[in-house]
Amino acid sequence: MQLKVKPKIAVVMPAFNAARTLRKTWEDLPHDIVDHVILVDDNSTDDTVDIARQLGLQIFVHDRNYGYGANQKTCYSLALQTNAAVIVMVHPDYQYDPTLLPKIVKPLIDDSADIVFGSRLLASDPMAAGMPWWKYWANRFLTKLENVVFGLNLSEYHTGYRAYNRKALEAVNYQMNSDAFVFDQEIVAQFVVLGLRITEVPVPTRYFPQASSASVLQSVRYGLEILVVLLRYILHAGHIARHRPFESLSNRYRDVTDDAPKS
């Protein structure tokens, strides 16, 4: 896919024990449009960091395992320091197809969206690709609930393939969010409060032993934490109970838009 404009694009990789898949993920990135690749290692016990060094990536290593949300916080902070106009999260476990990155970033470059999700449910049947049935139906249930609460019509909210324009990340205080998996949904709630434009594109997903996946217990906890996020959003949106992470930077969005670097 040929992009009309060439903004600066940074890819961030939140990594934990990705040694067996990192090189293939990096090789499949469209390097003709990617300007910067950052890997944040969450204290892996394998050779992830050594391979990242061989590939010449910018690397940041956490001194202990802080969690998926904490990893993303470091990823986005480092990416914003590069002055990239577009930041894309690509998991180094090769579950999501890196070659689809031009398709993911196109709505941002066309200025038809501020955030893009790569949706597994818009592509082929994810269960046929190997998604566990319980994870599929939990995804469907939570997505329907989130659509009702947020007033949106997305096919899923739980994808790890995401792209943001710079002003979207600068407009929300993601540092106040959880260090755990629910970070993904907290940042969505922050975007919704600001009225940012979210769209999605279909992406097929691979399921294999080396691909990272949350356990059943982690998934149950994640689901309960999402319910808490939705309750906080309802109370905040209804002016019943203020939730600071939802509003701390909301008044700055117009300024951020005006000050965003031009492609």
Span 92-139, pLDDT tens digits: 999 999 999 999 999 999 999 999 999 988 866 767 666 777 778 788
Domain holding 248, by residue range, is: 9-256
> Does residue 3 lie in a domain region?
no
Model pLDDT, residue 135:
77
In the chain, the DSSP E strands lie at: 9-15, 36-41, 58-61, 86-89, 115-119, 162-165, 198-202
Domain count, the chain: 1
Whether residue 234 is contained in a domain is answered as: yes
- 194: closest CA among 173, 177, 163, 225? 173
Indicate the average pLDDT of the chain: 89
Residue 38 falls within a domain, yes or no? yes
In a domain, 164, yes or no: yes
CA 231: distance to chain centroid? 22
Asked if residue 51 belongs to a domain, the reply is yes
Model pLDDT for residues 147-171, shown as the tens digit of each residue:
999 999 999 999 999 999 999 999 9
**Is 261 inside a domain boundary?**
no
Residue 116 lies in a domain: yes
Alpha-carbon gap, residue 195 to 93, rounded angstroms? 32
| pLDDT band (50, 70, 90) for residue 206 | confident
Which residues face 162 on adjacent strands? 89, 117
Q: State the pLDDT at residue 256.
A: 43
Contact by Cβ (8 Å): 16, 212:
yes
Read off the CATH number of the domain in which 33 is found.
3.90.550.10
CA pair distance 101, 91, nearest whole angstrom: 12
**Adjacent-strand bridge partners of 42:** none
Do the beta carbons of residue 164 and residue 147 sit within 8 Å?
Answer: no
Classify residue 1: in a domain, yes or no.
Answer: no
**Could you give the CA distance from residue 57 to residue 75 in angstroms, rounded to a whole number?**
13
Q: Scanning the structure block, which residue is given the tokens 């899923």?
A: 156
* Count of helix runs (H) and strand runs (E) in the chain: 10, 7
Q: What is the pLDDT of residue 38?
A: 98
